[in-house]
A = this chain, B = another copy of it.
Amino acid sequence: MSLTAQGLSWQDVAATAQKHRDDTIAKVKPAVSNPPGELPWNVTGIPSQLLPKDVLHITESPPESLLSQLSTGALTSTAVTTAFLQRAGLASKLVNCITELLPARALARAKALDDYYATRKKPVGPLHGLPISVKEHISMKDLDLNAGFISWVGQKGTSDALILRLLWSAGAVFYARTTEPQTLMHLETSSNIFGVTVNPYNTTLTSGGSSGGEGALVGLRGSCLGIGTDIGGSIRSPAANQGVFGLRPSSYRLPLDGFAATMIGEEHVVPVVGPLSTSLEGIKVFMKVLIDQKPWLHDPMLVPLPWKATGDLLRRDAGGKRKLRIGVLRDDGMVRPHPPILRGIDSVVSKLSSHPDIEIIDFPPYDHDRAWRIISSLYFADGAAEEKEAIDASGEPWRPLSKFIIKENPNMKSLSVTEVWRLTGERDAYRAAYTKHWNSIGTSLPGPEQKGELDVAAPLAKEDDMVDVILCPVGPGCAPPLNCARYWNYTSQWNLLDYPAVVFPTGLYCGAEDKVDKTYKPMNEKDEYNHELCEYHIVVYVVYDYLGRDRTDGNPTDKPETYTDAPISLQLVGRRYEDEKLIEALEMIMAAAKL
């Protein structure tokens, strides 16, 4: 039963949840260090000041390295789990990314795995002993399941989500649950339960969202592999904001069975679950381990596409060399990205353009504004009735970005079934048009604007002529200041189209070289908002700090000159269900650009 239903005020519910979190962190042994009282804007250097060397070594290893050592017995799961519990506890004190740690059950599991290894001299499965962090709304039996709503706090998971059972059977250890925003529908992470999760590179900026707890935790190396969810950018925004890897897989590849959220049964825009990791290998191993277990035998929503080994998915030339054709979409035609983003694209493209096996092609946007109109009309087709009820049931305040996407969203209204069908039809027509657009880039075939010209004998596009992947921004800037992530369409575009999209770091960070273009004339209101954000000249509505304290008044001056230290990340987008080819393309890009 929820705590609100037991008579607690929303403030008391929040206090109870925060105390529970603190209690679980306090149970970690050795005790989690307390950060110094006066913190720099960039807190990514703090762990190395406070944690022992072995903990640093373990937590800064990529998952493939840990898995290799766990599978040979060079590391025990107990050592690895203890290290990540330590660092996750510290991360939470720095950026407020944890809803609870699970030291007792995680260490019991780790010990069982270590015992198994000691007896059998082999790992239990391909994830033997690896700690994995989990976004809160993914059900764990007997643990809280609140999806960011005060009124849901106290509801317990009745069983473990299928994805956790599959990871478990491969050998994973679950040790940390991470924060998410009210409604799960922000590109930030701000709730009345736990306050705001901030960006470790620059704590005046957001960690992103809605998987922002994961983003911040992985960014601080309190996790090397975590689970997020994405219906508009919720895996990719946190991955980008912290400069880690994140994959939004195509829909119906990984099981959503056992997740708490509003709008269950809504299928016009399908949410997906996917990984965030400190390495691209971590992304791959996560996908492979799950799909190799044939999850479609247990979840009938899933498509039985086996996970293809990467290495031979791109086209080859006559000599057998891999060939990659990259479409570059610098700007969606609606909101121009900030200078550091364009610098990031230019930097990667310049490194690739001389590569003999990579072809760079301009990929113009196709009516992305229409995509936003469709998706933002479909998100809350019931007029957000469920979100309103879940928020208002406790009397908790509406967080600024809940207001933004629901109450201030001009496309949000309560629709009739007929209107939903019409919009779904528009979605499908847009998908068809975008397919035609993609197939027409770099060829002489007609694009989507030519209607009704097809007859039965007209040629269809040839696969060998097609662009393989699109390189584009993840958002219209790096991690924005708190409460300012108001332009979703660099990510939600690919949700509407259901294209897989992976985020990767460029190795670049915002700095003094990123000058505002003072001569720029914004194209529209959204572009203007984003342009002003460039100089941090934004209207900040209400700001909470990471402990949930209102610091609105102090905000307009309480900021650094620039987005200093914010990681510059990019997005690579593939065709629907070409998740593996997308990853192979990114491997080739990273090797070619020496990322």
Contact = CB atoms under 8 A, between A and B. Distances in A.
Interface stretch (A227-235, A295-303, A503-511, A545-553): A295-303
Interface in A270-315: 294, 296-301, 303-305
Contact of A382 (B140, B166, B416): B416
A453 interface: yes
Interface of A: 140-141, 158-160, 164-166, 168-169, 174, 257, 263-268, 294, 296-301, 303-305, 381-382, 385-386, 414-418, 420-428, 431-432, 434-435, 439, 451-458, 460-461, 463, 466, 497-498, 575-578
Nearest to A466: B297
10 contacts: A158-B451, A159-B455, A160-B454, A160-B455, A265-B425, A294-B463, A298-B435, A301-B428, A304-B578, A382-B417
A304 B303 CA distance: 10
Given A297-B439, A300-B431, A461-B298, A417 B452 contact: no
Given A297-B461, A300-B497, A460-B169, A452 B159 contact: yes
A578 B294 CA distance: 13
B263 A458 contact: no
A159 B460 CA distance: 14
A155 to B, nearest CB: 13
Name which of A174, A303, A451 has the most chain B CB atoms within 10 A of its CB.
A303
A50 to B, nearest CB: 32
A184 B298 CA distance: 34
Contacts of A456: 140-141, 160, 164-165, 168, 174
Contacts of A418: 382, 385-386
Number of copies of this chain in the oligomer?
Answer: 2
Contacts of A463: 294, 297
A330 to B, nearest CB: 24
Given A159-B455, A257-B432, A452-B159, A421 B298 contact: no
Given A165-B458, A305-B305, A452-B159, A300 B263 contact: no
A562 B164 CA distance: 57
Contacts of A168: 456-457
Contacts of A297: 435, 439, 460-461, 463, 466, 575
Given A300-B432, A303-B577, A439-B297, A263 B421 contact: yes
Contact of A421 (B169, B266, B425, B428): B266
A174 B455 CA distance: 13
Contacts of A415: 417
Contacts of A263: 421
Given A267-B424, A298-B439, 18 more contacts: A257-B432, A263-B421, A264-B425, A265-B423, A265-B424, A265-B425, A266-B424, A294-B463, A299-B432, A300-B431, A300-B497, A300-B498, A301-B428, A303-B305, A304-B577, A382-B418, A386-B418, A415-B417
Nearest to A498: B300
B417 A381 contact: yes
A435 B300 contact: yes
Name which of A424, A425, A460 has the most chain B CB atoms within 10 A of its CB.
A460
Contacts of A385: 418
A275 B391 CA distance: 50
Contacts of A453: 159
Contact of A265 (B294, B428, B432, B498): B428
Contacts of A428: 265, 301
A300 B578 CA distance: 12
A427 B428 CA distance: 22
A460 B266 contact: no
A354 to B, nearest CB: 30
Contacts of A575: 297
A224 to B, nearest CB: 20
Nearest to A160: B456
A159 B265 contact: no
A165 B459 CA distance: 9
A259 to B, nearest CB: 12
B417 A165 contact: no
A41 to B, nearest CB: 39
B421 A264 contact: yes
Contacts of A460: 165-166, 169, 297-298
A113 to B, nearest CB: 12
